[in-house]
Amino acid sequence: MVNREKVLHMTKMASYEAGQGKRDRAVSGYFRGDYIGMQMILSFVVITAAFAVIAGAYVGFHFEDLMESIYTMDLVSSFRQVLRWYLTAAAAYLAVTYLVYSLRYRRARRRLDLLLSELESLEEESRDLGKD
């Protein structure tokens, strides 16, 4: 005879494994520090590229003004100001990246732990049915 509870557990687990489970297994394939570190490196590359594009667009739009004032402006202080903006943007973006991917890792581990507990309870039910 088919155990209704067992079928419900198995259906729930199959649904999870077909959807969110694939992503969670990819996350759980890494240690926490490795996963977050990899995402931080990727975010650093992205923020650097984005800043370069924005700076290039600014220079492109204001090229004439920059060329007219290039001899009168203090290039060192201008470079320091741009560097401060970049470092501020990078620090903020990396902090958000750390928080987001820490949370994602924790949630994925929690869902996988729930799946494992479901599997263990299903195995216990099967053993108990086998004893009867």
Model confidence pLDDT, tens digit, residues 91-120: 999 999 999 999 999 999 998 888 888 888
| Residue bearing tokens 């560097």 | 83
| Residue bearing tokens 């990899």 | 38
Q: Where are the domains of the chain?
A: 4-131
- Three-class SS state of 11: helix
Residues 6+ apart with CB under 8 A from 97: 39, 40, 43
Tell me how far apart the alpha carbons of residues 38 and 31 are, in angstroms, rounded to a whole number. Answer: 11
Helices 75-131 and 32-61, interaxial angle, to 10°?
A: 150
- The H or E element that residue 1 is part of is none
Structure tokens at 84: 């401060």
Model confidence pLDDT, tens digit, residues 9-51: 788 788 888 878 888 888 888 999 999 999 999 999 999 999 9
Confidence of residue 2 (pLDDT cuts 50, 70, 90): low
Confidence of residue 130 (pLDDT cuts 50, 70, 90): low
Helices 20-28 and 4-18, interaxial angle, to 10°?
A: 70
Tell me how far apart the alpha carbons of residues 128 and 43 are, in angstroms, rounded to a whole number. Answer: 50
